[in-house]
Structure 1
Amino acid sequence: MSRTIQVGLIGFGLSGRYFHAPFLTVNPHFKLAKVVERHRNEAEAFDSSIQTVRSHKDLLADPAIDLIIVGSPNDTHFPYAKAALEAGKHVLIEKPFANTLEQARDLLELAKQKGLVAIPYQNRRYDADFLTIQQVLRENQLGDVVEYECRYDRYRPDILDSWKEKDPEGGGNLFNLGPHLIDQAIALFGLPQAVSGDVRIIRKGGILDDYFDVKLFYADKRVILKSSMLAVDNSLRYIIHGTKGSFIKHGLDIQEETQRKNILPNTPDWGAEPESQYGTLTTTNGRFTFPSQPGNYHHFYDNLYRAIVGEIPQEVTPEQALAVMRIIELAGESSRTKAVLEF
């Protein structure tokens, strides 16, 4: 039988307001019941049926809440998620899943013991570009992949007054954008044999890393994952070379931009990219424009619901969540030691 999952959301910043709340609102399997905001009432302004509470403990004490979404700063992910699991709640955790591999293991072991779902929010698996790449590979358009490069660049020359740029407990670009790129690579190619990393500060006055170049070594391919905060031209996203062809893709998925316009994700043609963002497929037969699959974060929440009610396993597996954390740690260690490290 269908049931409605009662949700408590910790934090109503960018993640809560523009990623979680809109999709929960239009999904009949979920009800966003309570939101933790320390001083504001922006969730109630978004939806008057939402109740504002001032502490995560208020959520944990509510027996009606089934799922806790941790959308607060990175240093709180582990303690809030652990407390939620101990209270018998499923947890969805914004990336990074935790600040260390050891913390991630602790959370997943606790979830397993209690029969609960603990999952990182890897929405970028459902971006238009990544769904399109999966189609390209599924159709064997490129042959055997020999090199895969993914970039997530921005141009942000000034240091923001934000924990993401100043708090060493989970701040920095590798923790911010790295989980997306690493998770996508693991979803496509599985676990690597070795990892190297170049993690640096490139902006004047920078406190935490704002550039990374992470390489994953496989027996038959190299995976290159890069991000810079000083890329004026930051449209390039993917370059993939195979034995039969190449695929190049520019432009960021439009779902976040659309949600910032206060458009709920139940509109026609949701996530459909403009033709100007379509990728280019080049083979020995010529060069072609390859239409994008529509981006669709609905798939993440649909899978989450079915995992919670026990119908199917969670698509972002515990093993993959651990692999992302291990690669982040190895990339940092590799950058410090200038060595290629076994996975």
Structure 2
Amino acid sequence: MSTQPFNVAIVGYGMSAKVFHIPLVRALSKDFKLYGIVQRSPKAGDDASTDHPGAKAWNSVGDVYRDTAVDVVVVTSIPETHFEMCKAALQAGKHVVVEKPFVPTAKEADELLEVAKRSGKLLTVYQNRRWDSDFLTVQKVLKEGSLGDVVEFETHYDRHRPDPPPNTWKVKEAPGHGSIFDLGTHLIDQVYCLFGLPEAVNGFITTQRREKIPGGAHDSHTLILQYRDGLMVTVKAAIVSLEEHQLHYWVRGTTGSFKKFGVDVQEDQLKAGLRPGDEGFGVEPTEMHGSLTKIIDGQPKKETYPTVQPMMYIEFYRQFAQALQGKGEVPVKPEAARDCLKIVEAAFVSSKEGRTVEL
């Protein structure tokens, strides 16, 4: 078993690579080495070789597959390239981390599971929002049982961006594009972690900015997931939502209700240049804490429920390092990401055909 850091190759040099993966890989220098970066078209002010002079710079992902020193390939390219890149990297004997969405279809996910099994290499999906402080808080609330029997769970990722950003792949219609693959896969993964696969799915997938991006990818969705015990889960992302504070979680049970506005601060802090270990990193301001409502003296009473101390996104790579060393499982099993794609596919069928789809 190697005691040297694992050599990591990053495929792609967009926001995902710069904000999420490279800072976390470099923060765990005992476990990982930033060995190289694939950037197809460097330009002034956006050049991986300038930003990271100690790492190799490639213009083609094929160079990564052929480099025998590469241990781990991190795929951060656009979604429709994920399947072929993951497959080629696994077949070349590399371990693979792939950004969400895993791949556009559950069928492709199943094929990659088989390729990983045959290669003997690890495959995992970067579902970093399992380590959001507010999601960990929701888990704590549910575990404590103060809500009683949970009957309804809402998770939102609503924003107000009526004008689409220019020249971005995210608004173009292509496999794996659109809000359900972008924001939705985060929310669906969290729901899957809490409750598993639903019994049935109703999907409503639309484009709220259709006049501004005709023929583009959908930008909004609402899913209703039904579970055998009567639990109903709403998974919603709207792009036209003018609010001072956006609702994130609303969990209702027989003896209590939990509500939370705003999202985890780590992404904005990483974009601003903060790094794990910096003072205040990952710590949510007290004004963003959620609220718990219970019956006290016969009347509903709301009290602030503090957000838990963050484990932070670096925990993904910390667990992945342990798995590479044979000391545990990958942080996100690809089977779970495959199951979430089944929910996505059911939602598309439901939305198109106007019916409930059973799983």
TM-score norm. by structure 1 comes to 0.96
Deviates more, 1:46-55 or 1:243-252: 46-55
Equivalent position amino acid for 1:4 in 2: P
Correspondences of 1:152-163 after superposition (within 5 Å):
152-160=157-165, 161-163=167-169
> Which residue does 1:298 correspond to in 2?
314
Deviates more, 1:227-236 or 1:183-192: 227-236
In the alignment, the residues of structure 2 paired with residue 270 and residue 135 of structure 1 have an alpha-carbon distance, to the nearest angstrom, of: 21
In the alignment, the residues of structure 2 paired with residue 131 and residue 230 of structure 1 have an alpha-carbon distance, to the nearest angstrom, of: 27
In the alignment, the residues of structure 1 paired with residue 83 and residue 235 of structure 2 have an alpha-carbon distance, to the nearest angstrom, of: 26
Q: Cα deviations across residues 84-127 of structure 1 (Å, max 9, x unaligned)? A: 01101111111110011111111111101222111111001001
Q: Does 1:205 align with 2:205?
A: no
Gaps of at least 5 residues in structure 1 are none
Q: Is the CA contact 1:10–1:68 (under 8 Å) kept in the aligned structure 2?
A: yes
> Which residue does 1:29 correspond to in 2?
31
In the alignment, the residues of structure 1 paired with residue 26 and residue 309 of structure 2 have an alpha-carbon distance, to the nearest angstrom, of: 20
Q: 2:63 aligns with which of 55, 58, 62?
A: 58
In the alignment, the residues of structure 2 paired with residue 249 and residue 72 of structure 1 have an alpha-carbon distance, to the nearest angstrom, of: 32
In the alignment, the residues of structure 1 paired with residue 334 and residue 79 of structure 2 have an alpha-carbon distance, to the nearest angstrom, of: 19
Q: Does 1:260 align with 2:260?
A: no
Q: Over aligned residue pairs, what C-alpha RMSD do you find?
A: 1.4
Q: Equivalent residue of 1:314, what SS?
A: coil
Cα displacement (A) at 1:320: 1.0
> Which residue does 1:335 correspond to in 2?
351
Q: Equivalent residue of 1:311, what SS?
A: coil
TM-score norm. by structure 2 comes to 0.92
Q: Does 1:231 align with 2:241?
A: yes
Cα displacement (A) at 1:211: 1.1
Cα displacement (A) at 1:339: 0.9
Correspondences of 1:141-220 after superposition (within 5 Å):
141-160=146-165, 161-203=167-209, 204-206=211-213, 207-220=216-229
Q: How many residues align?
A: 343
> Which residue does 2:253 correspond to in 1?
242
Gaps of at least 5 residues in structure 2 are none
Equivalent position amino acid for 2:212 in 1: G
Q: Is the CA contact 1:116–1:308 (under 8 Å) kept in the aligned structure 2?
A: no
Distance 1:42 1:141, change over 3 A: farther
Correspondences of 1:15-26 after superposition (within 5 Å):
15-26=16-27
In the alignment, the residues of structure 1 paired with residue 50 and residue 153 of structure 2 have an alpha-carbon distance, to the nearest angstrom, of: 43
Percent sequence identity over aligned pairs: 40
